[in-house]
């Protein structure tokens, strides 16, 4: 055993990394990094029918996307391997034989079954849930090795955690009922218990267990929807833990510095997409323009927009002008298509809402606007304000058609900032298309 904090995440490779698994992995990672310890990835692949190497790789890719690096694991190696249960079978047989020889387990065909003793008080102090006691009479005999030679979960997890020097077992609260069964095996083998900390259940907003009906459930689905890994990390960290009052947006390093297992709550956590959207939007705002561009660009390309027709500087600045609109990179791409092509605008707006009388007023105004010596947002706005006062026109009545002609949207960033970024000639072209300026202008 070791004095260094050692924690593990032990997924079964029978599917992608889902939110519950990502949450468990993240809390283990945070505790290891906070304590200067080791985070171990162990693959529990004894379900031979459902476990696949493809799912194993998908889980590891999901963890890498979240930024959860591991110190030991199937691909990283380490002094406590192998790190796949299917490669540790001799170890499970060894201790099962020992228990049989000591009369603590018995054979039933090819299976080995643990004999539950009577009158034993099984007690542990859970870091989150406090003191828990169970009498052994409430437990049945436990299968250790199945007839196919594979260990059961409650047996293998004890052998692995002890032999890998795991100091803290941090897992979902649905495992609390398994812990007394595991304590029996620790006791039978004469081993010390690790510390246990069970994490709160994650519920949907309807207070039911999280499932596909609540939306995306795998980590990769959030990536494909345009969420940032830092945002999903931030959001998952807040499910059952608080970084302090009024501290909802934080970096990984800040989370590592602040994290304490003792501050994990046992109250069920609610998976609120609106909160995730808010967190993601705040993280997007904090990015430098070119990093933000890297996130948004794939979605522009997916939309078939002419990304390569523009400079990187122009594209990055487009997202600055967008001014934080869009809660995901995918939404930001959708809200900014008019910066890349006029075709998107024409697909949404045809100018038919402006009658002839109003069109004449607009032609006079836009003609003078396009003639201004400086094409910058402040003078454009100042001129518009002054012109509307002098001509007893409402500012919105002359600014809204400009917004529609340039963006095709009723809601956009400041229309004068948009006009400045598009440039005078592109604005002239768009206004001319809708007949909002005279041909001589």
Three-class secondary structure assignment of the chain: CCCCCEEEECCCCCCCCEHHHHHHHHHHHHHHHHCCCEEEECECCCCCCCCCHHHHHHHHHHHHHHCCCCCEECCCECCCCCCEHHHCHHHHHHHHHHHHHCCCEEEECCEEEECCCCCCEEEEEECCCEEEEEEHHHCCCEEEECCCCCECHHHHHHHHHHHCCCCEEEEEHHHHHHHHHHHHHHHHHCCCCCEEEEECCEECCCCCECCHHHCCCEHHHHHHCCCCHHHHHHHHHCCCCCCCCCCCCCCHHHHHHHCCHHHCCCCCEECCHHHHHHHHHHHHHHCCHHHHHHHHHHHHHHCCCCHHHCCHHHHHHHHHHCCCCCCCHHHHHHHCHHHCCHHHHHHHCCCCCCCHHHHHHHHHHHHHHHCCCCCCHHHHHHHHHHHHHHCCCCHHHHHHHHHHHHHCCCCCCCHHHHHHHHCHHHHHHHHHHCCCCCCCC
Report DSSP state, residue 323. T
Q: Using CA atoms, how far apart are residues 124 and 132, in angstroms rounded to an integer?
A: 6
72 token code pair = 């030991």
| Phi-psi region at 67: left, alpha or beta (left = phi > 0; alpha = psi -120 to 50) | left
- Which residues are catalytically annotated? 212
234 token code pair = 């931030």
DSSP 368-432: HHHT-S---HHHHHHHHHHHHHHTT--HHHHHHHHHHHHHS-SS-S-HHHHHHHH-HHHHHHHHH
């Amino acid at each position: 055993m070791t004095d260094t904090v050692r924690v593990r995440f032990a997924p079964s490779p029978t599917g992608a990394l889902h939110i519950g698994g990502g949450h468990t992995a993240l809390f283990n990672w945070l505790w290891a990094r906070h304590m200067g310890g080791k985070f171990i990835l162990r693959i529990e692949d004894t379900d031979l029918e459902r476990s696949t190497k493809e799912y194993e790789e998908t889980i590891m890719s999901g963890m890498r996307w979240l930024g959860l690096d591991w110190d030991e694991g199937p691909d990283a190696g380490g002094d406590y391997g192998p790190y796949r249960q299917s490669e540790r079978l001799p170890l499970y047989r060894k201790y099962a034989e020992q228990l049989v020889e000591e009369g603590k387990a018995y054979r039933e065909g090819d299976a080995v079954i643990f004999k539950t003793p009577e009158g034993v008080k099984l007690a542990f102090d859970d870091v989150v849930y406090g003191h828990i006691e169970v009498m052994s009479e409430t437990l049945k005999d436990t299968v250790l090795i199945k007839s196919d030679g594979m260990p059961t979960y409650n047996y293998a997890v004890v052998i692995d955690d002890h032999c890998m020097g795991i100091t803290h077992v941090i897992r979902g609260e649905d495992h609390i009922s398994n812990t007394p069964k595991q304590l029996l095996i620790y006791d039978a083998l004469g081993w010390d218990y690790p510390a246990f900390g069970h994490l709160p259940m994650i519920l949907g907003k309807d207070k039911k267990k999280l499932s596909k009906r609540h939306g995306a459930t795998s980590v990769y689905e959030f990536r494909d929807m345009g969420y940032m890994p830092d945002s999903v990390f931030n959001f998952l960290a807040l499910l059952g833990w608080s970084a302090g009052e009024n501290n909802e947006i934080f970096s990984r390093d800040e989370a590592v510095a602040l994290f304490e297992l003792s501050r994990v709550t046992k109250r069920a956590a609610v998976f609120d997409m609106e909160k995730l959207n808010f967190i993601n939007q705040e993280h997007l705002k904090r990015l430098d323009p070119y990093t933000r561009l890297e996130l948004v660009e794939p979605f522009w390309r997916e939309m078939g927009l002419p990304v390569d027709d523009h400079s990187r500087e122009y594209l990055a600045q487009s997202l600055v002008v967008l001014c934080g609109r869009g809660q995901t990179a995918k939404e930001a791409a959708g809200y900014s298509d008019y910066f890349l092509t006029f075709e998107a605008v024409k697909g949404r707006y045809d100018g038919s809402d402006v009658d002839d009388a109003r069109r004449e007023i607009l032609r006079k105004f836009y003609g003078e606007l396009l003639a201004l010596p400086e094409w910058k947002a402040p003078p454009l706005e100042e001129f518009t304000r002054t012109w509307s006062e002098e001509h007893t026109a409402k500012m919105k009545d002359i600014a809204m058609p400009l917004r529609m002609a340039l963006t095709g949207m009723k809601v956009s960033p400041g229309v004068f900032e948009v006009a400045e970024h598009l440039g005078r000639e592109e604005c002239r072209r768009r206004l001319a298309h809708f007949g909002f300026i005279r041909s001589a202008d």
